[in-house]
Amino acid sequence: MSSAQDGLDTTLVAWDYVAIATYFVLVLCVGLFSLCRSNRGTVSGYFLAGRYMIWLPVGASLFASNIGSEHFIGLAGSGAAAGIGVGAFELNACLLIQLLGWVFLPVFIASGVYTLPEYMRKRYGGQRIRVYLAMLSLVLYIFTKISVNLFSGALFLQQALNWNIYLAVGLLLALTAICTVTGGLAAVIYTDTLQFFIMLIGAFMLMIMSFVKIGGYGALKEQYMQAIPNETLYSNTSCGIPREDSWQMLRDPINSDMPWPGFLFGQTAASIWYWCADQMMVQRALSAKSLSHAQGGCLLAGYIKFLPLFLMVLPGMISRVLFTDEVACASEETCMAVCGSTTGCTNIAYPKLVLGVLPVGLRGVMLAVMLAALMSDLTSIFNSTSTLFTIDIWKYFRAKFSKKVPSVRELMIVGRLVVVVMIGISILWIPVIQQMQGGQLFIYIQEISSFLAPPIAAVYLIALLWPRGNEKGCFWGLVVGLVVGVIRMILDFTYRAPPCWGVDNRPAITAKVHYMYFAMILFWITVIVDVVVSLLTKAPEKDMLIRTTWWSRFNKEKRFDDFEDDKEEIELDDDVRVITQEGQPEAHKSVVRRGYDWFCGYDDTFAGKAKARQHQVHLKEVSALKQDPRAKIFLNINLVLILLVASTLYIIFSIPGLL
């Protein structure tokens, strides 16, 4: 197979710059529009968009927050390396998003929480689980999600445009900060919705042109299996030859990279954490104005998640056919010359396709697509990090050491400063990212999740579905799960899987136990520890179970911690009553103070407190889980439909000869 990539022109023309400039202007306008939102100066308004979002932006944000630049790079790269198997992750996501909408969300909404660690405090009492989960999430966000996103975005810019990494990433982070700091989750969701449409339009455009160039789906099936680099054809090595099961999604349980038992029973557990118990994803659904709109958003995201298989995985396979010698390089020396990595260059599949297929003038559009993917993920991560730190860590330590409950103004300041700090850490992390090249990026993400995520998924499932579970069982389940997972992760990074041309000297625990099987083992270790410790210790108080389990989500009884909300309502009612009796007094503030309040949307006047009182009434209506009967029937019909479509696609793509 000859290489078609030599002499690619990476020059941008005027229309490319117009597309990029238009993208930046649109994003900036959306960010500035969020400044006009009246409820972004409240805790609920800033961190949960006031819970006024309808199903369309909720679903678009769920998809856009998930599909970052690492998906374009990682899914296409894994498709180029090993075929359609990686598409199973996307079909699995279609199902797990519905698990979020129909099992997890009703409980989270009914409990009235802002963050998932806060839910665990309500479910079990105490603070150690809440703080532990919040801090673990922050570590994961900083060293996996942000780093992977910046690396994949920088990789695209390097391959396509030869831009300076620091300048490009610095500009992106600055624009991201404007959107996140000013408008909170509302701005993030609005920009995500914009990115959602930009990504789909650009990805569809590239997919269609790629299939036209190669001759269609049938031609791809034939030519992919022949996409063998020249150094393999003219040597004795077997490296660079496509897998025999490249067109099979779920594969042999022992000798494959996608063992079907490990995927269904192990990888699913790790993915439950991401889709159902990760603050970044769940926060979007919690912003919905009702349970029906939240479930509608989950359905929309589920339907759209069918597309990455066709928009990213298959184009990655096309890239291997068109640029075989570079994308499928089969020796350390060649790979190092092509992409600066000694382990493989499949991660450059998507950038190469953009340069090799799109005519000059449309590359700016695809650059905007990649920027949209990168920014949608970063804004989501920054906002969720801000929420976790402010609600679960700052409030706890502030009350513990100063004996004072932080004011709304203080929480707004801290929430914004955390985003600034995260941006600083991200910039400092860029030199590390530059050393991360090699291997399949998307599989790297899944491996990390399989080491750390199953214990979190296990304890959340037990918390929701088993009322007998208690705080001690949950805590020790998390501790044991973390220890076991970290040991395997250290071994995996110490003894990395060699490339095809290398010698495998790994110990049996890493060489023989696939990471998906390990995820399954880790999940059940956590479940057993949680259940056994819970049964050996005192059962939780009945008051803890009110609206914190699936079985008690409609319970209307008062909880012991409801007095905090009642106290805030009484104070607001008193302020509103003063309006009618005495009128609204003139506020005396400095210019700087008024400017800050406008920037943050903070309004501590009586009129602002009256709006806050109305907002609290709205929050109570949302937590009541009321649904229109006709809407509920429509949603359930779509739920059945999406389950059938996903299951059918699994069967079609997993049984040889059906497609």
Cβ proximity of 459 and 478 under 8 Å: yes
Which element (helix H / strand E) includes 194? helix 165-214
Give the distance, in angstroms, between the CA of residue 156 and the centroid of all CA atoms in the same chain: 20
Q: Tell me how far apart the alpha carbons of residues 404 and 572 are, in angstroms, rounded to a whole number.
A: 19
> What residue spans of 589-628 are helical by DSSP H?
591-600, 606-623
- pLDDT for position 578: 43
Cβ proximity of 446 and 89 under 8 Å: yes
- pLDDT for position 6: 47
User: Given pLDDT bands bounded at 50, 70 and 90, which one contains residue 467?
Assistant: very high
Cβ proximity of 386 and 283 under 8 Å: no
Q: Tell me how far apart the alpha carbons of residues 161 and 167 are, in angstroms, rounded to a whole number.
A: 13
DSSP track, 376-443? HHHHHHHHHHHHIIIIIIIHHHHHHHH--PPPHHHHHHHHHHHHHHHHHHHHHHHHHHTT--SS-HHH
User: Given pLDDT bands bounded at 50, 70 and 90, which one contains residue 525?
Assistant: very high
User: Given pLDDT bands bounded at 50, 70 and 90, which one contains residue 415?
Assistant: confident
The mean per-residue pLDDT over the stretch 485-495 comes to: 86
Strand partners, 251: 259
- pLDDT for position 321: 93
423 or 317, which is more confident? 317
Q: What is the mean pLDDT of the chain?
A: 79
Q: State which of 32-46, 64-78, 374-388, 546-560 shows the largest mean pLDDT.
A: 546-560
Backbone angles phi, psi at 53, to 5 degrees: -75, 145
Count each helix (H run) and each strand (E run) in the chain, helices first: 32, 0
Distances (CA, A) of 27 to 192, 237, 256, 388: 9, 49, 43, 25
The mean per-residue pLDDT over the stretch 258-287 comes to: 88
Q: Tell me how far apart the alpha carbons of residues 429 and 166 are, in angstroms, rounded to a whole number.
A: 11
Q: Tell me how far apart the alpha carbons of residues 386 and 168 are, in angstroms, rounded to a whole number.
A: 24
CA-wise closest residue to 79 among 308, 334, 363: 308
628 or 614, which is more confident? 628
Distances (CA, A) of 600 to 17, 391, 603: 33, 17, 9
User: Given pLDDT bands bounded at 50, 70 and 90, which one contains residue 175?
Assistant: low
User: Given pLDDT bands bounded at 50, 70 and 90, which one contains residue 501?
Assistant: low
**Diameter over CA atoms, the chain:** 92
pLDDT higher than 70, residue 44? no
User: Given pLDDT bands bounded at 50, 70 and 90, which one contains residue 452?
Assistant: confident
CATH 1.20.1730.10 residue ranges for the chain: 14-37+52-551+630-654
Q: Which numeric CATH code is attached to 14-37+52-551+630-654?
A: 1.20.1730.10
pLDDT higher than 90, residue 636? yes
pLDDT digits (tens, 9 = 90+) for 336-384: 887 776 677 888 888 888 888 888 777 777 777 777 777 767 777 777 7
- pLDDT for position 579: 41
User: Which residues neighbour 272 within 8 Å (Cβ) at sequence distance 6 or greater?
Assistant: 96, 99, 453, 457, 460, 461
237 or 356, which is more confident? 356
pLDDT digits (tens, 9 = 90+) for 300-311: 999 999 999 999
Q: Tell me how far apart the alpha carbons of residues 578 and 587 are, in angstroms, rounded to a whole number.
A: 15
| Torsion on CA atoms 310, 315, 317, 320, rounded to nearest 10 | 180
pLDDT higher than 90, residue 319? yes
